[in-house]
Amino acid sequence: ASDETDSDKKASDETDSGGEQRVCFALKYMCLTLNRTLTSVSETVQHCKADHGVDIPDLVQKHRLDDYGYIKMINYIRTTKVSTESLLLTSNGPLPWDSDEYMKPALPDDPLLQIDVEELSEATAVTLSPAAGDQVSLLLQRARQAEDRAQRAEEALARAMDDLHKLKSCFFFFSKYKQISIIQLDKVRTESYRDFMYRNMEVFKGKVVLDVGCGTGILSMFAAKAGARKVIAVDQSEIIYQAMDIVRSNKLEDTITLIKGRIEEIDLPVEKVDIIISEWMGYFLLFESMLDSVLYARDRYLAEDGLVYPDRCSISLAAVGDTQKHSDRIAFWDDVYGFKMSCMKKAVIPEAVVEMLKPETVISEAAVVKTIDCGSVTVSELEFTVDFSLKITASTFCTVMFSTAPDCTKTHWKQAVFLLESPIPVKTGEELPGQITVHKNRKDPRALLITLDIAGRKQTYSLQ
């Protein structure tokens, strides 16, 4: 690298062979022509403006760049060696540095990337102030910059809110197709609702029915076919619009009224309903469930002698002896290709698993740990601590605890599985005592924290 400093050499290095001027920046405050040392970011900015006609703060303001946009622009200029003319003629449409590839620094420890947009403007304001004593001009300039920062912050907030809206839409999109897959794949659940309503038409005949979380409206249509005088179907997700089309296609629009929104935030077109139906159950019964919303609807809209269906639900526990599963999931970490990774158990064990278990691996009778009467239970009662005792039916090692019977027809609920760190030796006929505590995750009310205390071994699991 040459350290000549004459102006002819400088002009030659900063102009390409076609006579077009290129933008240079400082590398460790050294001009890219490698023949001029600059002492600071502000001097670099002045150099770009005076020698190249490029005002960096002005470009930031012109294109309303946030910190990310500024970083991309600097890296774009460094990477592409863009001409001054091209840079100044950049329109307010899609910017040439919008690609995320320009988030990668073109230079290591680039000083221009170690200052944010606000600091850049303030540093430049002090350096470019026309006179040290011109306080009024300086204050006005800073006020304008503060106003501009506030505007950019407001626009950034608007973009963030837009992103949040898209995220919610994505969640509702997922939720919608999750409900569709349930109808397609879970015949046990859907047919249970259908059979109950069709076999008990006298319960529904002439009644006003509320369907909380109606999804595609399948339960609402069952209720209408069972003789309900009026059905009000409520769902907050976008699937409500498909449900409207489905109801019209089946010529049930005179009976079924569909409303989009959270049951807690809307007003129904009636004061009271006779029956509330809902498919609110989740994994481990209570995970990601809508029971809280159903109870709100019950307390606000259900007539004094009204009914809630399902009316009773229960959670049961049983022990499993599956040494292969324990070896694959837990003991595996004791020797991973010759390396000890036992610490990984602490990360794996607390995560409850939802999957189908083999009925032959069950080694105890099931014990009911919670029964829920949907007509009277309160929200606070959905968090509980209960002692239980499992009667062992096979002499082996207990490796897993689970809920939901594996010997029934498969459903979308599957079983909630809680892996034990160390197998517990058990014998046929003996009782395995324990205690279970269930409460909501305060950080995510849809999720559950479940603590099992068995044979003096205590472990908290997260179902999320």
Query: Tell me: the pLDDT tens digits for 94-109?
Result: 888 888 888 888 887 7
Question: Which tens digit of pLDDT belongs to each residue from 434-448?
Answer: 999 999 888 877 788
pLDDT at residue 213, as a whole number:
92
Helix (H) or strand (E) holding 151: helix 135-185
Query: Which of 69-78, 176-185, 262-271, 334-343 is predicted least confidently?
Result: 176-185
Coil/strand/helix, residue 133: coil
Domain ranges in the chain?
29-122, 187-310, 313-463
Q: How many other β-carbons are positioned within 10 Å of the β-carbon of residue 75?
A: 21
CATH entry 1.10.3470.10 includes domain 187-310 = no
Nearest Cα neighbor of 78 from 105, 40, 109 is 105
Angstrom distance (rounded) from CA 314 to CA 367: 10
Q: What is the CA radius of gyration of the chain?
A: 33
288 is catalytic: yes
* Choice among 279, 421, 430, 431 that is catalytic: 279
* Choice among 288, 351, 381, 431 that is catalytic: 288
Whether 313-463 and 187-310 are alike in CATH topology: the answer is: no
Angstrom distance (rounded) from CA 49 to CA 58: 10
Tokens 């079924």, located at residue: 256
Nearby residues of 293 by Cβ (< 8 Å), 6 or more positions away: 212, 213, 262, 263, 264, 278, 280
Cut 0.75: pTM above it: no
pLDDT at residue 117, as a whole number:
65
Query: What is the average pLDDT across 329-351?
Result: 86
Give whole-number Cα distances, 344 to 145, 226, 250, 355, 402, in Å.
Answer: 51, 54, 54, 21, 22
Give whole-number Cα distances, 444 to 98, 163, 166, 237, 440, in Å.
Answer: 35, 20, 20, 19, 8
Q: How confident is the model at residue 118 (pLDDT cuts 50, 70, 90)?
A: low
Tokens 């305060």, located at residue: 442
The torsion defined by the Cα of 358, 364, 368 and 370, in degrees rounded to 10, comes to: -70
Coil/strand/helix, residue 461: strand
Query: Which of 152-166, 186-200, 346-360 is predicted least confidently?
Result: 152-166
Nearest Cα neighbor of 242 from 210, 217, 219 is 217
pLDDT at residue 416, as a whole number:
80
The CATH number of the structural domain formed by 313-463 is: 2.70.160.11
Question: Which tens digit of pLDDT belongs to each residue from 22-74?
Answer: 555 543 343 433 345 566 777 778 788 888 788 888 888 888 888 788 888 88
Nearby residues of 400 by Cβ (< 8 Å), 6 or more positions away: 319, 320, 321, 322, 325, 326, 357, 361, 417, 418, 419, 420
